[in-house]
Amino acid sequence: MVRFTRWYLRELTGVNEYDRYLDRHRADPHGPLLSRREYERLRIDRQDADPGSRCC
Amino acid sequence: MLQKSPKSLKSILIWTGVALVGAIAWGVIALSRGEKISAIWLVAAALGSYAIAYRFYSRFIVKRVLGADDTRATPAERLDNGVDFHPTDRRVVLGHHFAAIAGAGPLVGPVLAAQMGYLPGTIWIIVGVIFAGAVQDMVTLFFSMRRNGKSLGQMVRDEIGPVGGAAALIAVFAIMIILLAVLALVVVNALAQSPWGTFSIAMTIPIALFMGLYLRILRPGRVIETSVIGVVLLFLAIVGGGWVQNSSWAEAFTLSPQTLVICLVIYGFFASVLPVWMLLAPRDYLSTFMKIGVIGLLAIGVIIVAPQLQNEAVTDFALTGLGPVFSGSLFPFVFITIACGALSGFHSLIASGTTPKMIQKESQIRLVGYGAMLMESFVAIMALIAASILDPGLYYAMNIPVGVLGTTAESASAAVAGFGFTITPDALREAAAAVEEGSIIARTGGAPTLAVGIADILSAVFGGAAFKAFWYHFAIMFEALFILTTVDAGTRVGRFMLQDTLGNVWKPIGRVSWKPGLWGTSAVVVLAWGYFLYTGVTNPLGGINQLFPLFGIANQLLAAIALTLATTLLIKAGKLKWAWVTGIPLAWDVAVTLTASWQKVFHSDPRIGFFAQRERYADALAEGKVLAPAKSLDDMHAVVVNSTVDGVLAALFALLVVVVIANAALVCFRAIRARAPLPLTEAPYVESRIVAPAGLFPTADERRELAHAGVGRTEDETP
């Protein structure tokens, strides 16, 4: 249960995304490997162009 | 076969039990007249009905009507790019989707609708979500998923036609402006003259900036850690608000509604032009955590405390239509007012936005689309309970416009008595003192009423009466926090829509990085909702009373567009015999909403019809007379201008939707006449390679499949 909650929160907030990026990059490397800082910047800055609606 | 039968017997017993609990609860609600019932019956009726609807009706729609096919690869699988398209665990998508659809709407609408008693609201929230709201969300999600995650506007243009598409686009933009204005009005009414609330909410800006910098510079990507720090700071801000209220700073944070409007407009502008990482993203994390936390707390509170409902089942206002909180009779206005908790057009924008790009398996739309909307409906039921456990005298003293109540406890008590309810001036002062507010008279908008209800429930579980003021401001903070997040994001989305549209006329405006275009379009959007917000706080007739019906109509009309699209697509695909699934909710929604629009435009009673109201005040103005609740000729002018604008807007919304429906009817007519199904813009079939369960918990078969594929043993499948 604790493990599930931890996994769920990490997935929901996108904490696991960098690990997933590393896996992808390892499997199919194109371009230089981004550091965590660079990757997270790119990820959050993408929202500038597509913030997504929140509802009422 | 033989192996299966004991299990299906167990399942039959369980579902019979669930059905019985739901039926008994409905029976108690229906049969108790004149005596007070416990809120627990509302909870049981809701949960029992949701379970049955989810198990049977949503399954029928997914399997038979839509024909979801788990061998067919979803866009997340086919177009997986690790950015916007990527197959995501169904429970995570459910969390994202719920966080995106749940907001202040289902909390505020039911509070206002409590004017008509708890029964009409309860029935519509439960029946509406099962047959209309959750169906709309799931079906829109499905159609968008089959079209690689196209937006509602694009689908209307591609599948219905350019005229309908253009009308839908204008409708979405106009609806967004009214939505932002009304939500901002709720915040203004909650914070006006309240240094505690204003300080706590103001502190969310530095907290969000700090979280943004922390995530950007110190600990990139560590969202959970950052959010925990943020939530702790948020609690400190609430506690600090109590301290500020009793200090010499109190005056600096005691703001008039007009000043708050200016602050909000300036804030909205900056929030829209600043990069997302500074303000919007961290605020989003905070409000998501608060949202899920508070809703969970409230559910636990309601079940433990099991409070008695003080509200009547059906009040006289439901029949006379002369209620002071909002005017108009039960049909159509209870449906318009509840809006989001039962059927919300805005969800169709989210169901055709990011969510369809994350789904792993087609049949998961049932959990994500239908399931998330059932959760939202449950939030609405709890809001209705929180409003209905309050003493009716207190409820009306908080929700009638100030023009009618006056500003003193004595005048409010007398005015409430005029509507047939009693509350003494001392009781009003005591209620204000209990939550440490200067006054709670005419705190319209729903948020303060809900906060008093939540404070009653939570203080009974945690902390007792001494904590009531804390929980009240906690609830205010929670509502204001996610309304402001919606305002941030909505302004940004509105700005993009405007940039996109104007970019067709003059290229540079369309470029997202061109600063003058960005500032100009942001200013236009902010000033548009700012205008309605300002008229809302200055309107002598009461802003919520005037604008909330407009918001409800707008939201329900957007739902009509989504349901029209869904019905058209079913018919075009040759599924005329199943078209009732979306066609009946569409017919109902159109009947309700166009009746409401018609009454708002043409009704001869000036309390209901905007133009009748205009005429009454314009005539008096021509003779130089001042009609109460207006106090000066300027007030009279304001009423005339506001009624004209609101009336034109109500007519415009209805007209746009009629255009979309007429265009769709033409397409449906052609589709029925044609021998073969008309061409659709669905993406072609590609076989899926992903193995994933469809529902919340994997079935035995799914477990075997997962194990076979070697993905069943990871931590994420062993909760």
pLDDT one-digit tens code per residue, B249-279:
999 999 999 999 999 999 999 998 999 999 9
Q: Do B489 and A53 touch (CB under 8 A)?
A: yes
Answer for the pair B43, B381: CB distance below 8 angstroms, yes or no. Answer: yes
pLDDT one-digit tens code per residue, B377-413:
999 999 999 999 999 999 999 999 999 999 999 999 9
Domain assignment present for residue B214? The answer is no
Other C-beta atoms within 10 Å of B529: how many? Answer: 27
How far apart (Å, rounded) are the C-alpha atoms in residues B334 and B111?
Answer: 11
How far apart (Å, rounded) are the C-alpha atoms in residues B86 and B627?
Answer: 60
How far apart (Å, rounded) are the C-alpha atoms in residues B373 and B368?
Answer: 8
Number of A–B residue contacts, CB under 8 Å: 117
The per-residue pLDDT for B83 is 83
Question: Who contacts B496 (Cβ-Cβ below 8 Å, separation ≥6)?
Answer: A51, B512
Domain assignment present for residue A27? The answer is yes
Domain assignment present for residue B700? The answer is no
Distance in Å, alpha carbon of A54 to nearest chain B alpha carbon: 5
More confidently predicted of B213 and B500: B213
Domain assignment present for residue B717? The answer is no
Could you please report the per-residue DSSP string of B306-329?
Answer: -PBP-S-SS-THHHH---SSS-S-
pLDDT one-digit tens code per residue, B556-595:
999 999 999 999 999 999 999 999 999 999 999 999 999 9
pLDDT one-digit tens code per residue, B484-527:
989 988 999 899 889 988 888 888 888 877 889 889 999 999 99
Mutation target for A interface from B141, B186, B223: give the one with most A CBs within 10 A. Answer: B223
Among B524, B613, B596, B518, smallest CA distance to B560 is for: B596
How far apart (Å, rounded) are the C-alpha atoms in residues B351 and B340?
Answer: 14
How far apart (Å, rounded) are the C-alpha atoms in residues B212 and B234?
Answer: 15
CA quadruple B131, B489, B494, B375: dihedral, nearest 10: 0
Q: Is the pLDDT of residue B3 over 70?
A: no
Residues of chain B with C-beta less than 8 angstroms from the C-beta of A43: 221
The per-residue pLDDT for B7 is 67
Is the Cβ of B91 closer than 8 Å to some Cβ of chain A?
A: yes
Is the Cβ of B272 closer than 8 Å to some Cβ of chain A?
A: no
pLDDT one-digit tens code per residue, B470-488:
999 999 999 998 899 899 8
How far apart (Å, rounded) are the C-alpha atoms in residues B54 and B375?
Answer: 11
- Range in A42-51, B226-235, B661-670 the model is least confident about: A42-51
B38 phi/psi in degrees, rounded to 5: -85, 145
Residues of chain A with C-beta less than 8 angstroms from the C-beta of B227: 13
Q: Is the pLDDT of residue B1 over 50?
A: no
Residue-range definition of the domain harbouring residue B553: 4-193+255-673
Tokens of residue B393, six digits: 């005298």
Q: What is the largest CA-CA distance in chain B?
A: 87
Of the segments A19-28, B293-302, B381-390, which one has the largest average pLDDT value?
Answer: B381-390
Domain assignment present for residue A40? The answer is yes
A50: closest chain B residue by CA: B493
Give me the percent of chain B exceeding a pLDDT of 90. Answer: 85
Question: Confidence class of residue A47 from pLDDT cuts 50, 70 and 90?
Answer: confident
DSSP code, position B83: S
Residues of chain B with C-beta less than 8 angstroms from the C-beta of A54: 100, 103, 284, 482, 485-486, 489-490
- Span B657-673, average pLDDT: 95
Q: Do B220 and A37 touch (CB under 8 A)?
A: yes
Q: Do A55 and B102 touch (CB under 8 A)?
A: yes
Tokens of residue B278, six digits: 């500074």
The per-residue pLDDT for B718 is 46
Is the Cβ of A2 closer than 8 Å to some Cβ of chain B?
A: no
Which B-chain residues 500-519 have CB contacts (< 8 A) with chain A?
512
Q: Which of B277, B492, B496 is nearest residue A44 as measured by Cβ atoms? A: B277
Residues of chain B with C-beta less than 8 angstroms from the C-beta of A46: 83
Q: Is B710 left (phi over 0), alpha (psi -120 to 50) or beta?
A: left
Answer for the pair B242, B436: CB distance below 8 angstroms, yes or no. Answer: yes
Domain assignment present for residue B118? The answer is yes
Q: Is the pLDDT of residue B6 over 70?
A: no
How far apart (Å, rounded) are the C-alpha atoms in residues B94 and B603?
Answer: 43
CA quadruple B47, B51, B52, B55: dihedral, nearest 10: 170
Distance in Å, alpha carbon of A12 to nearest chain B alpha carbon: 6
A48: closest chain B residue by CA: B276
How far apart (Å, rounded) are the C-alpha atoms in residues B198 and B200?
Answer: 6
Domain assignment present for residue B434? The answer is yes
- Span B417-425, average pLDDT: 96
The per-residue pLDDT for B632 is 93
B349: closest chain A residue by CA: A53
Domain assignment present for residue A1? The answer is no
CA quadruple B546, B548, B552, B557: dihedral, nearest 10: 50
Letter for the amino acid at B315? T
B629 phi/psi in degrees, rounded to 5: -80, 5
The per-residue pLDDT for B2 is 45
How far apart (Å, rounded) are the C-alpha atoms in residues B375 and B101?
Answer: 10
| CATH at residue B110 | 1.20.1740.10
Q: Is the pLDDT of residue B694 over 70?
A: yes
How far apart (Å, rounded) are the C-alpha atoms in residues B455 and B555?
Answer: 29
Question: Confidence class of residue A29 from pLDDT cuts 50, 70 and 90?
Answer: confident
Distance in Å, alpha carbon of B707 to nearest chain A alpha carbon: 18
Domain assignment present for residue B238? The answer is no
How far apart (Å, rounded) are the C-alpha atoms in residues B26 and A19?
Answer: 49
Residue-range definition of the domain harbouring residue A38: 17-47
Looking at the structure of chain B, the number of domains it has is 1
The per-residue pLDDT for B482 is 83
Which A-chain residues 15-54 have CB contacts (< 8 A) with chain B?
15, 17-18, 20-21, 24, 36-37, 39-41, 43-54
The per-residue pLDDT for B719 is 44
Residues of chain A with C-beta less than 8 angstroms from the C-beta of B133: none
Answer for the pair B473, B238: CB distance below 8 angstroms, yes or no. Answer: yes
Question: Confidence class of residue B5 from pLDDT cuts 50, 70 and 90?
Answer: low
Answer for the pair B406, B175: CB distance below 8 angstroms, yes or no. Answer: no
Is the Cβ of B67 closer than 8 Å to some Cβ of chain A?
A: no
| Cross-strand pairs, B687 | B72
How far apart (Å, rounded) are the C-alpha atoms in residues B654 and B557?
Answer: 7
A21: closest chain B residue by CA: B82
Q: Is the pLDDT of residue B310 over 70?
A: yes
Distance in Å, alpha carbon of A41 to nearest chain B alpha carbon: 7
Is the Cβ of B583 closer than 8 Å to some Cβ of chain A?
A: no
Is the Cβ of B364 closer than 8 Å to some Cβ of chain A?
A: no
- Tell the residue number behind the tokens 């669905």, with chain if given: B682
Domain assignment present for residue A28? The answer is yes
Domain assignment present for residue A5? The answer is no
pLDDT one-digit tens code per residue, B130-155:
999 999 999 999 999 999 999 999 99
Domain assignment present for residue A38? The answer is yes
Q: Do A53 and B276 touch (CB under 8 A)?
A: no
How far apart (Å, rounded) are the C-alpha atoms in residues B109 and B132?
Answer: 17
Question: Confidence class of residue B164 from pLDDT cuts 50, 70 and 90?
Answer: very high
- Span B97-108, average pLDDT: 92
Q: Which of A4, A41, A55 is nearest residue B105 as measured by Cβ atoms? A: A55
Is the Cβ of B353 closer than 8 Å to some Cβ of chain A?
A: yes
3 state DSSP class of B698: coil
Q: Is the pLDDT of residue A53 over 80?
A: no
Among B390, B387, B393, smallest CA distance to B405 is for: B393
The per-residue pLDDT for A28 is 86
In this prediction the ipTM stands at 0.95
- Range in A40-54, B38-52, B105-119, B413-427 the model is least confident about: A40-54
Looking at the structure of chain A, the number of domains it has is 1
Q: Do B276 and A10 touch (CB under 8 A)?
A: no
CA quadruple B169, B173, B178, B183: dihedral, nearest 10: 120
Question: Confidence class of residue B225 from pLDDT cuts 50, 70 and 90?
Answer: very high
pLDDT one-digit tens code per residue, B328-364:
999 999 999 998 999 999 999 999 989 999 999 999 9
B308 phi/psi in degrees, rounded to 5: -85, 140
Tokens of residue B193, six digits: 């003259």
| Cross-strand pairs, B308 | B38
Is the Cβ of B716 closer than 8 Å to some Cβ of chain A?
A: yes
Question: Confidence class of residue A33 from pLDDT cuts 50, 70 and 90?
Answer: very high
Give me the percent of chain B exceeding a pLDDT of 70. Answer: 98
Q: Which of A15, A20, A55 is nearest residue B101 as measured by Cβ atoms? A: A55
Q: Is the pLDDT of residue B713 over 70?
A: no
Q: For chain B, give the mean pLDDT.
A: 93
Distance in Å, alpha carbon of A1 to nearest chain B alpha carbon: 5
Helix-then-strand count for chain A, H and E: 3, 0
Answer for the pair B364, B287: CB distance below 8 angstroms, yes or no. Answer: no
- Tell the residue number behind the tokens 């549209």, with chain if given: B501
pLDDT one-digit tens code per residue, B537-555:
999 998 998 999 999 999 9
Domain assignment present for residue B11? The answer is yes
Could you please report the per-residue DSSP string of B382-428?
Answer: HHHHHHHTS-HHHHHHHHS-HHHH-SSHHHHHHHHHHTT----HHHH
Is the Cβ of B717 closer than 8 Å to some Cβ of chain A?
A: no
